[in-house]
Amino acid sequence: MRNSLLVFLFIASNYCRAQDVDYNDYRRKNEGFIHIYDKAIRSDLSCFTIGGIEESMGKGKLKEIPVKDYGKDFIRFDSGGIQVTIYSGPFFVTKHKITREGGDHVVKIDGKPFYGNYFKLPTTTISKIIVVEGKDTVNIPASAYFDLYNPGYTFPDGSGNRKTKDGVYLSADKQTFYIYMQNNDDTGSYEVTWVIQDKKYLRRVLDFGFTQ
């Protein structure tokens, strides 16, 4: 029932945005789950992403690396053998070229489409991602996150406790792990997964617009 509801929301929200938005949406869809052709990676992604929810039936859960610490501008995961820290910082509008349509609708930053409260100026940006596996540091290039804005690491539940939708997941063979982040905003959420394989950054998988 939960999976069916999420699928419905995913389709309906994209349909509504197509009907309601009068301005160009330049965000690319070619990095989404639907374009993942590696069967092992696709199967793993379907276990935890919303983009892959239609293929999640009957799938088990991947092993998760626990959250070690978090704050307003960072979240850290640590299993002992793998450490992942995502940092954010303020968005300085004076350091960027802003493209607008219809007066105030922001559609590009530095000539590129962006993700995170589309049509509005961001307030924060992902500043860096530090990944250490064993004794090796995995380089995550700025191109993997330069266009991702307004990261939100935790949220309060009904009891006032902090929870997160982010996670780090291990493949069954432990050769690949996935750094997952989901960010919500009032123009539709986006989710991004950075894929690390054999101690190297492989690619990102990015879907957006599935909730309002």
Summarize pLDDT for 99-156 with one digit per residue, the tens: 999 888 999 999 999 999 899 999 999 999 999 999 999 999 999 999 999 999 999 8
Judge whether 198 lies within some domain: yes
Cα separation of 205 and 165, whole Å?
Answer: 16
Judge whether 110 lies within some domain: no
Amino acid in the structure at residue 156? P
**Which range marks the domain in which residue 156 is found?**
2-87+130-138+152-208
State the pLDDT at residue 147: 97
pTM attached to this predicted model: 0.88
Judge whether 102 lies within some domain: no
Cα separation of 9 and 207, whole Å?
Answer: 14
Q: Which residues are within 8 A (CB) of 141 and not within 5 positions of it... i.e. 6 or more apart?
A: 201
pLDDT digits 0-9 by tens, 33-60: 999 999 999 999 999 999 999 999 888 8
pLDDT digits 0-9 by tens, 74-108: 999 999 999 999 999 999 999 999 999 988 899 99
Cα separation of 98 and 104, whole Å?
Answer: 10
Whether 13 shows a pLDDT value over 80: the answer reads: no
Q: Which helix (H) or strand (E) holds 177?
A: strand 176-183
Judge whether 106 lies within some domain: no
State the pLDDT at residue 72: 94
Judge whether 118 lies within some domain: no
Q: Are 131 and 202 in contact (CB under 8 A)?
A: no
Cα separation of 65 and 50, whole Å?
Answer: 19
Structural domain count, the chain: 1
Judge whether 117 lies within some domain: no
Distance of CA 75 to the CA centre of its chain: 14
Please tell me what DSSP assigns to residue 178: E
92 dihedral zone (left: phi>0; alpha: psi -120 to 50; beta): beta
Cα separation of 88 and 151, whole Å?
Answer: 7
Judge whether 159 lies within some domain: yes
Where do we find the tokens 């070690």? 68
pLDDT digits 0-9 by tens, 151-205: 999 998 888 889 999 999 999 999 999 999 999 877 668 999 999 999 999 999 9
Which pLDDT band, with edges at 50, 70 and 90, does 8 fall under? very low
Judge whether 125 lies within some domain: no
State the pLDDT at residue 166: 97
Question: Two tokens at 51?
Answer: 């983009």
